[in-house]
């Protein structure tokens, strides 16, 4: 039983957002926050305003790819895909050593830009997503694994969902408490569970994601959508911190380039790359490890090691993330899929 939270939900139903940010509920919430030792006061709650912004977008293989704008790191997925266009990835074959190596190296370079720009109030998206930058990054990718630590700067209580109705209206959405059970603190008066998303701040002088008053912390959450001929073609996304954009890129390539259906793409063997200094959560650690699921096959794994990757193999379906996806077919049929790696489901009504 959670009587305090139940009472808060009843108050929200009656008073709405105004009560939560500026009314009596806000005063109780501010008191809970003060009791927990936070720096958030009633004036801070009253100053909150929704941030509304258009998605960032990029043309790719006949699609318009839309991604979550700043302060999200969603643009890193678009950068990865732009680099792939400088190679004949279809000829490489899905799940091949060559394709995995190329995508891992593209991810490493995209994360260099992520660390340098994703904490900015207005990142230079025109430059970051320009053909010239993609070409320069792609040209720098060699046949062996590169050592590319990001500038020193977890996957837990995040939820992704996507919905499409009969008229084709679509939502791709994600929210997060950050760590498991957020900060692990529940307000005594309100029953509200506090998040710890500000663990993503950096404290280094001059870092674009440095903690400062009034700023928004960079985050990893992204809710992509692929459009074709003016209507949604694929909705997809996942929890997973720094692994999110990596897995999202793999899912899109599997479906859009290699023709896998959504469930096949979600169950396909996957990889995730780490770099020193990459982890978004303080203290922003990281390693050179490339984690792959055993389903990639012994030959592919051996080939990646021969290219210089430090490979860690995990059992099938024990890699990170938990993707949900909806694909809208040309005849109007919706194909929904849910990742078997964690709890989730696909439903139609």
pLDDT tens digits for 6-54?
A: 999 999 999 999 999 999 999 999 999 999 999 889 999 999 988 888 9
Let me know if residue 343 belongs to a domain: no
**Cβ atoms of 40 and 30 closer than 8 Å:** yes
CA atoms within 13 A on the CB side of 185: 14
Residues 84 and 25 grouped into a single domain: no
Instruction: Say whether both 62 and 44 belong to one domain.
Output: no
> Are residues 7 and 66 both part of a single domain?
no
CA 144, 145, 147, 150: dihedral to nearest 10 degrees?
Answer: 130
Indicate if 232 and 326 belong to the same structural domain. Answer: yes
d(CA 175, CA 161): 9
- In the chain, the percentage of residues whose pLDDT exceeds 70 is 97
Whether residue 197 is contained in a domain is answered as no
Given this model, what pLDDT does residue 156 score? Answer: 56
Position 248 in a domain: yes
Q: Does the predicted model carry a pTM greater than 0.85?
A: yes
Q: Let me know whether 46 and 91 are in one domain.
A: no
Closest CA to 241 of 194, 288, 282, 295: 282
Do residue 263 and residue 302 come from a single domain?
yes
Confidence at residue 153, expressed as pLDDT on a 0 to 100 scale: 39
Verify that 139 and 267 share a domain, yes or no: yes
The answer to the question of residue 232 being in a domain is yes
Q: Which residues contact 251 (CB under 8 A, 6 or more apart)?
A: 236, 265, 266, 323, 325
Whether residue 200 lies inside any domain: the answer is no
Q: Does residue 273 belong to any structural domain of this protein?
A: yes
Percent pLDDT > 90 in the chain is 72
Average pLDDT over residues 96-113: 97
Instruction: Look up residue 61 and give its two tokens.
Output: 């293989």
Indicate whether 75 and 123 sit together in one domain.
Answer: yes
Q: What is the mean pLDDT of the chain?
A: 92
Are 315 and 299 found together in one domain? yes
In 3D space, the residue among 189, 184, 186 whose CA is nearest the CA of residue 4 turns out to be: 189
Q: According to the model, what pLDDT value does residue 223 have?
A: 95
The per-residue pLDDT for 155 is 46
Question: Between these two residues, 71 and 315, which has the higher pLDDT value?
Answer: 315
- Asked whether the beta carbons of 34 and 218 are under 8 A apart, the reply is no
Instruction: Say which residue the tokens 């009656």 belong to.
Output: 14
Give just the sign of the alpha carbon dihedral 16, 19, 24, 26: positive
Per residue in 114-157, pLDDT tens? 988 866 777 899 999 999 999 999 999 999 999 998 754 344 57
Q: CB-based burial of residue 97 (10 Å sphere; 0-12 exposed, 13-18 middle, 19+ buried)?
A: buried
**What pLDDT, on a 0 to 100 scale, did the predictor assign at position 298?**
97
CA distance 154 to 65: 26
CATH of the domain at 223: 3.60.20.40
pLDDT, tens digit, for every residue of 281-293? 888 888 999 999 9
Report whether pLDDT(218) > 80. Answer: yes
Q: What is the pLDDT of residues 148-157, one digit of tens each?
A: 987 543 445 7
For residue 77, is pLDDT > 60? yes
Domain that holds residue 10: 3-50
Domain count of the fold of the chain: 2
**Stated length of the chain:** 349
Residue 32 sits in the same domain as residue 160: no
The residues with which 174 forms a beta bridge, in sequence order, are: 160
- Whether residues 141 and 281 fall in one domain: yes
Is-contact 46 37, C-beta < 8 A?
no
In-domain check, residue 63: yes
Q: Is residue 187 part of a domain?
A: no
Confidence band for 250, pLDDT divided at 50, 70 and 90: very high
**pLDDT score for 151:** 58
pLDDT of 44 reads: 92
Residues designated catalytic: 158
Both 147 and 229 in one domain: the answer is yes
**pLDDT class for 164, splitting at 50, 70, 90?**
very high
Give the integer Cα–Cα distance in Å for 134 and 80: 8
Run of H or E residues at 90: helix 89-92
pLDDT of residue 204: 85
Q: Whose CA is closest to 172, among 114, 106, 252?
A: 252
More confident residue, 256 or 39: 256
């Amino acid at each position: 039983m959670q009587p305090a939270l139940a009472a808060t939900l009843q108050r929200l139903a009656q008073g709405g957002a105004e009560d939560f940010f500026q009314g009596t509920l806000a005063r109780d919430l501010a008191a809970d926050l003060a009791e927990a030792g936070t720096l958030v006061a009633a004036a801070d709650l009253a100053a909150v305003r929704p941030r509304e912004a258009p998605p960032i977008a990029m043309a790719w293989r006949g699609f318009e790819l839309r991604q979550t704008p700043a302060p999200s790191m969603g643009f890193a997925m678009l950068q990865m895909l732009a680099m792939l266009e400088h190679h004949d990835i279809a000829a490489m074959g899905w799940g091949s050593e060559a394709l995995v190596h190329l995508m891992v190296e593209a991810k490493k370079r995209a994360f260099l830009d992520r660390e340098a720009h994703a904490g900015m109030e207005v990142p230079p998206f025109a430059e970051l997503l320009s053909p010239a930058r993609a070409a320069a990054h792609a040209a720098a990718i060699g046949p062996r694994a590169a050592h590319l630590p990001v500038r020193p700067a977890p996957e837990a209580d995040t939820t992704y969902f996507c919905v499409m109705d009969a008229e084709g209206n679509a939502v791709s959405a994600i929210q997060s408490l950050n760590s498991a059970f957020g900060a692990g603190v529940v307000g005594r008066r309100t029953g509200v569970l506090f998040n710890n998303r500000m663990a993503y701040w950096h404290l280094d002088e001059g870092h674009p994601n440095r903690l400062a008053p009034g700023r928004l912390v960079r985050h990893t959450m992204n809710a992509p959508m692929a459009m074709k001929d003016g209507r949604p073609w694929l909705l997809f996304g996942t929890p997973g911190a720094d692994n999110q954009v990596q897995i999202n890129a793999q899912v899109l390539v599997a479906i859009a380039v290699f023709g896998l259906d959504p469930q096949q793409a979600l169950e396909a063997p996957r990889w995730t790359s780490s770099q020193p200094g990459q982890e978004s959560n303080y203290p922003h650690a990281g390693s050179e490890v490339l984690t792959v699921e055993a389903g990639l096959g012994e030959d592919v794994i051996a080939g990646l090691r021969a290219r210089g990757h430090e490979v860690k193999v995990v059992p099938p379906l024990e890699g990170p993330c938990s993707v949900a996806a909806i694909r809208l077919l040309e005849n109007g049929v919706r194909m929904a899929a849910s990742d078997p790696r964690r709890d989730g489901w696909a439903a139609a009504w």
